């Protein structure tokens, strides 16, 4: 097994997005450029000669301030370069990962010609592990199943696919690991270039921005400068740290609750499916103020949010069936539930991962909703999971979460720098397809979703008037 890795070793790459890393690199470069722009007038001011009792102190402080700005600019420049290089390596690693998954799918199809996994352990195993285990046992039932297997006729091809998948996964692993190590080292160096500010006595700092009207006026004037924000970025928001198990309500969820509190009541489709264009239009019209507020909060065109809502509220599955699906998947995932059947192997539309169950009028997978709300989907407590489900099923909160997810998709795509008021129909179609298909947005199913989005966009716009 030397030189081979399994998918589980690099599966985190599925959630990694080079475009988003590039976006952060661009943010650091923006700050660097903004600081460099300050340096020239600071040099000119430093060169001015005047004499008074306080001129020496003034000149010294001005020189210190200029050097301070210079060091901060160097730090941000170094950080931008580090992230830019890591984004390129991440792109390469993801291509190796995709090649590995391609070989893995072929291996799975080949294995399927010889039998079906019986035990829960075998069902959950990735194809590489299944092939390694074809002549061993993971449980008594697997042993009985494998007694009659003759794998000699597929051995050579299966070994080739196994090694090809494992080799690509190993390439992905080493490429990302090495690049990450270099990036983290460079980021630490960049951090060391930044000054460390400390307050004596541990007292809280003075909010100079709030206290000085002149500073607020300067800030208002500076907002027109393109260096104060990246193109296409939405409203500025405070960043928060990771949400742990001891924090039931995340800052993002609390913020959404506060924003929707003053909005009109929203229509729902929990009990009754919306199956006609007229029903869709009525729902959009009744919820237009909520959809408009959600789009503005996320920095998106309102027709994008309304158009995706039009797509998602349709169909013959009301919200009630989402609850039923989630409950059955929970039972299948529980040790006391439907074992040995895993959630993914349930029949019909019931099949799927527990955290990929969709909820709400604008259907969103639970794990995606958790991400938008600042939770770690892999470590949700039962209470946090319940709060996320409830938020997704509330029409008003659901609209804000859906808009937040659409904004996340925009930031992770090549459309991050497109302002909301300049987005074209084709660009909105791409985001809609990505909303539906995720990493497989370019496949026919998601592309069909994008086509339907465009086809219904005019009606969605009319309903928003």
Let me know whether 265 and 391 are in one domain: yes
Preceding omega of 340 cis (within 30 degrees of 0): yes
Let me know whether 258 and 188 are in one domain: no
Q: Assess if residue 135 is contained within a domain.
A: yes
* pLDDT band at residue 332 under the 50/70/90 scheme: low
Helix (H) or strand (E) holding 429: helix 425-437
Ramachandran angles phi, psi of 358, nearest 5°: -95, 145
Let me know whether 21 and 133 are in one domain: yes
Q: Nearest-CA neighbor of 354 among 389, 382, 329? A: 329
Q: Assess if residue 228 is contained within a domain.
A: no
pTM for the model stands at: 0.70
CATH no. for residue 102?
1.20.1270
C-alpha span between 416 and 342 (Å, rounded): 38
User: What does each C-alpha distance from 203 to 206, 207, 227 come to in angstroms?
Assistant: 9, 12, 33
Domain that holds residue 347: 251-464
Task: State pLDDT tens for residues 441-453.
Answer: 999 999 999 999 9
Q: Assess if residue 226 is contained within a domain.
A: no
Let me know whether 330 and 437 are in one domain: yes
Task: State pLDDT tens for residues 115-138.
Answer: 666 666 667 788 999 888 876 655
C-alpha span between 165 and 181 (Å, rounded): 24
DSSP string, 99-128: HHHHHHHHHHHHHHTT----SHHHHHS-HH
Q: Please tell me the predicted confidence (pLDDT) of residue 403.
A: 96
Q: Please tell me the predicted confidence (pLDDT) of residue 95.
A: 96
Return the percentage of the chain with pLDDT > 90, whole number: 47
3-state secondary structure of 49: coil
Let me know whether 261 and 409 are in one domain: yes
Q: Which long-range contacts (CB under 8 A, 24 or more apart) does 133-141 make?
A: 141/340
Total domain count, the chain: 2
From the number of C-beta atoms within 10 Å of its C-beta (0-12, 13-18, 19+), residue 349 rates as exposed
For the chain, the farthest-separated pair of C-alpha atoms sits apart, in whole angstroms, at: 99
Q: Which of 30-44, 118-132, 207-221 has the highest mean pLDDT?
A: 30-44
Q: Which two tokens stand for residue 124?
A: 């959950």
Classify residue 72 by its DSSP letter: H
Q: Nearest-CA neighbor of 273 among 308, 307, 322, 306? A: 322
Q: Nearest-CA neighbor of 128 among 81, 160, 176, 89? A: 160
Let me know whether 181 and 303 are in one domain: no
Classify residue 274 by its DSSP letter: B
Let me know whether 256 and 137 are in one domain: no
C-alpha span between 448 and 454 (Å, rounded): 10
Let me know whether 319 and 446 are in one domain: yes
Q: Please tell me the predicted confidence (pLDDT) of residue 240.
A: 67
DSSP string, 114-165: T----SHHHHHS-HHHHHHTTTS-SSHHHHHHHTT---TTTHHHHHHHHHHH
Note whether 19 and 414 are within 8 A (CB).
yes
């Amino acid at each position: 097994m030397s030189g081979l890795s399994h998918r589980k070793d690099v599966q985190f790459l599925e959630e990694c997005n080079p475009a988003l890393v590039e976006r952060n690199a661009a943010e650091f470069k923006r700050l660097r450029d903004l600081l460099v722009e300050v340096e020239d007038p600071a040099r000119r001011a430093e060169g001015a000669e005047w004499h008074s009792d306080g001129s020496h102190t003034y000149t010294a402080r001005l020189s210190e301030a200029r050097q301070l700005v210079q060091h901060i600019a160097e730090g941000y420049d170094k950080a931008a370069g580090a992230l830019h290089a890591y984004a390129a390596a991440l792109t390469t690693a993801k291509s190796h990962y995709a090649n590995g998954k391609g070989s893995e799918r072929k291996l799975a199809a080949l294995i399927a010609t010889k039998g079906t996994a019986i035990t829960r352990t075998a069902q959950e195993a990735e194809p590489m592990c299944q092939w390694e285990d074809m002549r061993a046992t993971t449980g008594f039932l697997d042993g009985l199943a494998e007694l009659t297997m003759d794998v000699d006729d597929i051995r050579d091809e299966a070994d080739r696919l196994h090694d090809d998948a494992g080799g690509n996964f190993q390439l992905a692993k080493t490429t990302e690991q090495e690049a990450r190590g270099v990036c983290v080292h460079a980021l630490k160096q960049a951090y060391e270039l930044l000054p460390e500010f400390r307050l004596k006595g541990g007292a809280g700092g003075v909010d100079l921005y709030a206290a000085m009207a002149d500073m607020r006026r300067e800030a208002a004037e500076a907002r027109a400068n393109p260096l104060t924000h990246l193109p296409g970025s939405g409203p500025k928001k405070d960043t928060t740290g990771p949400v742990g198990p001891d924090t039931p309500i995340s800052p993002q969820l609390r913020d959404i609750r506060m924003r929707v509190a003053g909005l009109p009541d929203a229509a729902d489709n929990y009990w009754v499916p919306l199956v006609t264009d007229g029903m869709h239009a009525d729902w959009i019209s009744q919820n237009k103020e909520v959809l408009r507020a959600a789009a503005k909060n996320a920095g998106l065109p309102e027709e994008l949010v309304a158009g995706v809502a039009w797509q998602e509220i349709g169909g013959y599955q009301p919200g009630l069936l989402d609850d039923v699906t989630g409950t059955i998947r929970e039972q299948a995932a529980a040790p006391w539930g439907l074992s040995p059947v895993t959630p993914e192997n349930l029949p019909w539309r019931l099949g799927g991962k527990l955290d990929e169950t969709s909820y709400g009028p604008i259907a969103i997978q639970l794990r995606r909703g958790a991400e938008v709300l600042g939770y770690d989907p892999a470590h949700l407590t039962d209470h946090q999971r319940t709060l996320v489900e409830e938020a997704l099923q509330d029409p008003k909160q659901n609209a804000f979460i859906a808009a937040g997810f659409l904004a996340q998709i925009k930031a992770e795509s090549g459309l991050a720098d497109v302002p909301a008021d300049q987005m074209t129909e084709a660009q909105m179609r791409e985001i809609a397809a990505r909303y539906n298909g995720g990493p497989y947005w370019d496949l026919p199913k998601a592309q069909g979703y994008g086509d339907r989005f465009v086809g219904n966009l005019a009606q969605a716009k009319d309903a928003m008037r």
